[in-house]
Structure 1
Amino acid sequence: MRFKDDEVEYVRNQLKECLAHVSSIIGKPLTEFHFTEIFNRRGQWAQTEDGLNLKIFGFFAELYSIKRWPVMLQTVDDRTFVGHNVSNWAGKIDGLDLTDRYTQSLVLLCMRFQREFPECEEPLTVLVDQGLGKPGAPFGKTLFRKWKGQFRGEYVASTEPLMQLTDFVAYCINRSTILQIKSNRSKTDLYFLKMIEMMNLNTTDLQFHKLPASFDAQDIDELHRLDRVAKGLEPAKDDDEELD
Structure 2
Amino acid sequence: MDRPKYQDYINELAAGRAYGIFIDDTGSPGLTDTPPNYLPGRKSWVAVIVPPHQIPEVLEQFNRALHTLKEATGATEFHFTDIYSGRKEFKSVDLQTRLKLFEFMAFIFSQYQFPIIVQTFDPVTLADIRRQSAGQMPDRLPEFDFSREEDTALFFLLIRLKWFMEKTPEFPNVKAHVFIDEGYKKNGVGIKIPTFETVFCDGLVCFAQSSGIVQIQLADFAAFALNRSQLIGGRDKRNSLDLRLLQILSQANLNFLNIEKKIVSLKQDGPIITLDDTRPNSPKT
- SS at structure 2 position matched to 1:166: helix
- Does residue 136 in structure 1 map to residue 188 in structure 2? yes
Pairs within 5 Å for 1:183-194: 183-194=236-247
Instruction: Identify the residue that residue 92 of structure 1 maps to in structure 2.
Output: 141
* 2:177 alignment partner, SS class: strand
CA contact (8 A) 1:96 1:103 kept: yes
List runs of 5+ in structure 1 lacking aligned partners: 232-244
Among 55, 58, 61, the residue aligned to 1:11: 58
Structure 1 residue 98: Cα displacement: 2.9
Q: Percent identity?
A: 22
| Conserved 8 A contact 1:61-1:199 | yes
Residue number in structure 1 paired with 2:176 = 124
Higher helix share: 1
Distance 1:125 1:201 in 2: 22
| Structure 2 match to 1:201 | 254
Displacement of 1:184 in angstroms is 2.7
1:51 matched to 2:103? The reply is no
> Which deviates the most, 49-58 or 96-105?
96-105
TM-score, normalising length: structure 2: 0.69
Deviations 1:209-229 (A, max 9, x none): 222222422x533x838x99x
Residue 216 (structure 2) aligned to one of 148, 152, 163: 163
Equivalent in the alignment of 2:108: 63
Q: Is 1:173 the equivalent of 2:220? A: no
1:71 and 1:118 mapped to 2: Cα distance?
16
Among 95, 101, 107, the alignment partner of 2:149 is: 101
Deviates most, 17-26 or 69-78: 17-26
Query: 1:190, 1:117 → 2: CA distance?
Result: 36
Identify, as 1 or 2, the structure richer in strand.
2
CA contact under 8 A between 2:192 and 2:203: conserved in structure 1?
no
1:48 Cα shift?
1.4
C-alpha distance in 1 between matches for 2:50 and 2:66: 20
Deviation at 1:63, TM superposition (A): 0.6
Unaligned runs of 5+ in 2: 1-47
Structure 2 Cα separation of the partners of residues 64 and 147 of structure 1: 24
Quickly say closer, same or farther: Cα 1:135–1:186, change in 2 above 3 A: same
- Report the number of matched residues: 224
Q: Distance in 1 between matches of 2:76 and 2:244?
A: 27
CA distance in 2 between counterparts of 1:148 and 1:211 reads: 38
Instruction: Measure the CA separation in 2 of the matches of 1:168 and 1:116.
Output: 21
- Residue 54 (structure 1) shift: 0.3
- Match of 2:55, SS? helix
Q: Which amino acid aligns with 2:216?
A: M
For the residues of structure 2 that align with 1:199 and 1:124, how far apart are their CA atoms?
24
In the TM superposition, residue 148 of structure 1 has moved relative to its aligned partner by: 8.8
Q: CA RMSD in A?
A: 2.7
> Considering only CA atoms, is the larger Rg found in Structure 1 or Structure 2?
1
